[in-house]
Structure 1
Amino acid sequence: MSRRGRPERPPGRGRRAWRWTTTPVRAGGRAVLVRPAQALGRRLNQVGPRGWDLVLWLVTAVLFIIGWPTVQLSHEVQGSLMPVVAAIGVAPLLLARLHPLLGWGLWTVGGVVVPLLFDRAPGYDFPWQVTAFLVLLALLFAVALRDGARAIAITWLVTAVLFVVLLPNELSAGWVFGVTAVMGVGLLVRWLVRSRRELAEQTELGELERARRAIAEERTRIARDLHDVVAHRMSMVVVQAQSAPYRLGGVEPEVSKEFASIADQAREALNEVRGMLGVLRSDGQLAEDVPQPGTDDVLEMLQRARAAGLDLSWEGTGDPSRCGASTAMVLYRILQESLANASRHAPGAPVTVDVDFGDQVLLLVRNGPSSRAPGPGRHSGQGIIGMQSRAASVGGGLTAEPTVDGGFEVRAHLPARAASDPAAADAAS
Structure 2
Amino acid sequence: MTAPQLPAARRISPQTWFDFATVLVALVLYSIAWPTLFVTHEVSPVAAPLLAGLAVFPILFVRVNPAMGWAISAGAALLISVGLQPGADNDLPFQVVHIIVLFVLLFAVALRASVPIVVMAWAATSMLFATTMPGSAEGPLWGWAIGFGALALFGYLVRILLASRRKLERQEEVTELERARRAILEEKARIARDLHDVVAHHMSMVVVQAQTAPYRIADLDPAARAEFESIGATARTALNEIRGLLGVLRSDGQLPEHAPQPRAADVVALCESALRAGLPVQWSVSGELTSVPDTTGLVVYRVVQESMANCARHAPGAAVHVELAVEPGMVSVRVRNDATATVSQPGAGGGHGIEGMRTRVVAVGGELHAGSTAAGGFEVAVKLPIS
- Identify whether the pair has TM-score above 0.5, normalized to the shorter chain: yes
Whether 1:398 and 2:366 are equivalent positions in the alignment is no
Whether 1:127 and 2:111 are equivalent positions in the alignment is no
For residues 56-103 of structure 1, what are the alpha-carbon distances to aligned partners after superposition, in whole Å with 9 as ceiling and x for unaligned?
A: 222222212211121233222233332232222212212221111111
The whole-number CA distance in structure 2 between the counterparts of 1:122 and 1:44 is 50
191, 195, 202: which is aligned to 1:233? 202
Displacement of 1:350 after TM fit? 7.3
Matches within 5 A, 1:228-307: 228-248=197-217, 251-282=220-251, 292-307=261-276
68, 78, 81: which is aligned to 2:44? 78
C-alpha change, 1:74 and 1:175, in structure 2 (3 Å) is farther
The whole-number CA distance in structure 1 between the counterparts of 2:243 and 2:36 is 88
1:149 alignment partner in structure 2: 115
Displacement of 1:269 after TM fit? 0.4
The whole-number CA distance in structure 1 between the counterparts of 2:11 and 2:113 is 20
SS of structure 2 residue aligned to 1:79: coil
Matches within 5 A, 1:361-376: 361-366=333-338
The whole-number CA distance in structure 1 between the counterparts of 2:164 and 2:181 is 25
Task: Provide structure 2 residue ranges, at least 5 long, that are not aligned to the other structure.
Answer: 1-8
The whole-number CA distance in structure 2 between the counterparts of 1:290 and 1:101 is 66
C-alpha change, 1:262 and 1:47, in structure 2 (3 Å) is closer
RMSD between aligned alpha carbons? 3.7
C-alpha change, 1:259 and 1:127, in structure 2 (3 Å) is same
Paired amino acid for 1:361: V
SS of structure 1 residue aligned to 2:35: coil
1:27 alignment partner in structure 2: none
Whether 1:355 and 2:323 are equivalent positions in the alignment is yes
C-alpha change, 1:187 and 1:122, in structure 2 (3 Å) is same
Displacement of 1:175 after TM fit? 4.7
Whether 1:213 and 2:182 are equivalent positions in the alignment is yes
Paired amino acid for 1:199: L
SS of structure 2 residue aligned to 1:299: helix
1:163 alignment partner in structure 2: 129
Q: Give the structure-2-normalised TM-score.
A: 0.79
2:32 alignment partner in structure 1: 66
1:314 alignment partner in structure 2: 282
C-alpha change, 1:265 and 1:213, in structure 2 (3 Å) is same
For residues 322-353 of structure 1, what are the alpha-carbon distances to aligned partners after superposition, in whole Å with 9 as ceiling and x for unaligned?
A: 875365135422443146338xx74xx57453
The whole-number CA distance in structure 1 between the counterparts of 2:36 and 2:369 is 85
User: In the alignment, is the contact (CA less than 8 A) between 1:156 and 1:180 conserved in 2?
Assistant: yes
User: In the alignment, is the contact (CA less than 8 A) between 1:327 and 1:414 conserved in 2?
Assistant: no
Paired amino acid for 2:193: R
Task: Provide structure 1 residue ranges, at least 5 long, that are not aligned to the other structure.
Answer: 1-42, 371-378, 424-429
Matches within 5 A, 1:39-50: 47-50=13-16
Displacement of 1:409 after TM fit? 3.9
Paired amino acid for 1:301: L
SS of structure 2 residue aligned to 1:314: strand
Paired amino acid for 2:18: W
Paired amino acid for 2:194: D
Q: Give the structure-1-normalised TM-score.
A: 0.72
User: In the alignment, is the contact (CA less than 8 A) between 1:227 and 1:277 conserved in 2?
Assistant: yes
For residues 116-136 of structure 1, what are the alpha-carbon distances to aligned partners after superposition, in whole Å with 9 as ceiling and x for unaligned?
A: 122222342322111111111
For residues 360-418 of structure 1, what are the alpha-carbon distances to aligned partners after superposition, in whole Å with 9 as ceiling and x for unaligned?
A: 53333337779xxxxxxxx9953886247636855332335897xxxx84323222x1x
Displacement of 1:230 after TM fit? 0.8
Aligned-residue sequence identity (percent) comes to: 34
SS of structure 2 residue aligned to 1:362: strand
User: In the alignment, is the contact (CA less than 8 A) between 1:388 and 1:399 conserved in 2?
Assistant: no
**When the two structures are aligned, how many residues end up with a matched partner?**
358
The whole-number CA distance in structure 2 between the counterparts of 1:147 and 1:112 is 22
The whole-number CA distance in structure 1 between the counterparts of 2:298 and 2:280 is 26
196, 199, 204: which is aligned to 2:165? 196
Paired amino acid for 2:382: L
For residues 1-25 of structure 1, what are the alpha-carbon distances to aligned partners after superposition, in whole Å with 9 as ceiling and x for unaligned?
A: xxxxxxxxxxxxxxxxxxxxxxxxx
The whole-number CA distance in structure 1 between the counterparts of 2:168 and 2:146 is 32
